[in-house]
Amino acid sequence: MRALIAIWVFLAALLAGLAPAQAHEVRPALVQIRETGPTAYEVVWKRPVVGDMALRLVPHLSGGALEKPPAAEQAAPGYVTRVWRVNGGPPLEGQTLEVEGLSQSVTDVIVRITARDGRTFDHVLKPAQPRMKLAMAPAAGVAVPAYLVLGVEHILIGIDHLLFVLGLLLLIGPNWKLVKAVTGFTVAHSLTLALAALGYISFPSAAIEALVALSILFVAVELMPGRRAADGLAQRRPWLIAFVFGLLHGMAFAGVLADIGLPPDAAPEALLLFNVGVEIGQLVFIGAVLLLMAAGRWVVSARRWTVPRWAPVAPAYLIGSLAAYWLIERTVAAI
């Protein structure tokens, strides 16, 4: 049992430390480069803002174009945007793009380049690889890995989404109901993700984030032993709960794509890749939790340890405490 207690203490400390910074606050930055002539191009830089603080990320082109003051600068909720317009500068081909400060961050930078003939390609700069050499892609369309990787990483660092999935897993258990609940969640968030990202529906992001926190709190309350014994709606129709709250989570997912924008000529492909990435990350997380649960049961059985009376309520209190904190914080922000 000591091993299980140590695992819970570690998870509690880890989630408590990561939650304020990574619950939908770590959003990708964007560098958009549009070539307008042999030596002319426009560079748009969107830097994410966490609260009142902008992340210290500075883009550089080896030709020196971005060392000059920008032609325009605008602040918006969640982002600061700067625009440089270059005429008569060095050609883009062969230049090195580097984002200073990226290696010390936990975010990514989407690089979108549009050539003069309309060909486009996307790339992802990561903390481990903060620079790239520019080259005009020979083929049109969105690069396959870019939005797929973004989707995987977004769900894996989206602590609030993972806690909701964890709550469902603990509430339902590894059985057929879990398959139906995960399917309902997937269908729901895929639907609202597509509709919101493509601009068919729109809701205030602050309100959506607060409702996401409320969904996690609801699952935490249902996890309490007394509630579970009552055979409530979450026990009888877990897929319905997962579907309804999945609609909210999908709109929250769409906030990321809405902020960085979808490639105009490849929006369906980018949206599909991002959604597939979210599903891959979600399944990886569920698989890891199921393996951890199986290992815990085996250890308890092999050592013949007695589970403490407080153990069944520990997940509910951990998940519920974080959800309540987010709900208060996001409700204040929405107001």
Structure confidence by residue, pLDDT tens digits, 25-74? 457 888 989 988 888 899 999 887 765 566 788 999 998 989 989 999 98
Same domain for 20 and 134, yes or no, is no
Tell if the pTM clears 0.75, that is, is over it: no
Same domain for 133 and 164, yes or no, is no
Work out the mean pLDDT of the chain and round it to a whole number: 78
Same domain for 196 and 297, yes or no, is yes
Answer whether residue 150 is part of any domain: no
Instruction: Quote the pLDDT of residue 82.
Output: 92
In angstroms, rounded to a whole number, what is the distance separating the alpha carbons of residues 243 and 255?
19
Over residues 181-203, the pLDDT tens digits come to 888 888 888 888 888 777 788 77
Same domain for 168 and 297, yes or no, is yes
Same domain for 248 and 261, yes or no, is yes
Same domain for 105 and 176, yes or no, is no
Instruction: Quote the pLDDT of residue 272.
Output: 81
Count of domains observed in the chain: 2
Last residue of a domain, one of 142, 169, 196: 142
Q: Are 281 and 274 in contact (CB under 8 A)?
A: no
Contacts 24+ apart (CB under 8 A), 118-127: 118/265, 120/263, 120/265, 120/266, 122/146, 122/147, 122/263, 122/270, 124/149, 124/150, 125/31, 125/97, 125/99, 126/102, 127/102, 127/103
Which of 11-20, 82-91, 99-108 has the least mean pLDDT?
11-20
Both structure tokens of 151: 């989707």
Over residues 271-309, the pLDDT tens digits come to 788 888 888 888 889 889 888 888 877 877 777 667 667
Antiparallel, parallel or unpaired: β 79-87 and 72-76: antiparallel
Answer whether residue 238 is part of any domain: yes
Answer whether residue 151 is part of any domain: no
Same domain for 12 and 62, yes or no, is no
Q: Give the side-chain half-sphere CA count within 13 A for 192.
A: 21
Answer whether residue 147 is part of any domain: no
Same domain for 208 and 310, yes or no, is yes
Quote the domain boundaries for residue 128. Answer: 29-142
Over residues 233-248, the pLDDT tens digits come to 666 777 888 888 888 8
Answer whether residue 192 is part of any domain: yes
Which of 3-12, 56-65, 313-322 has the least mean pLDDT?
3-12
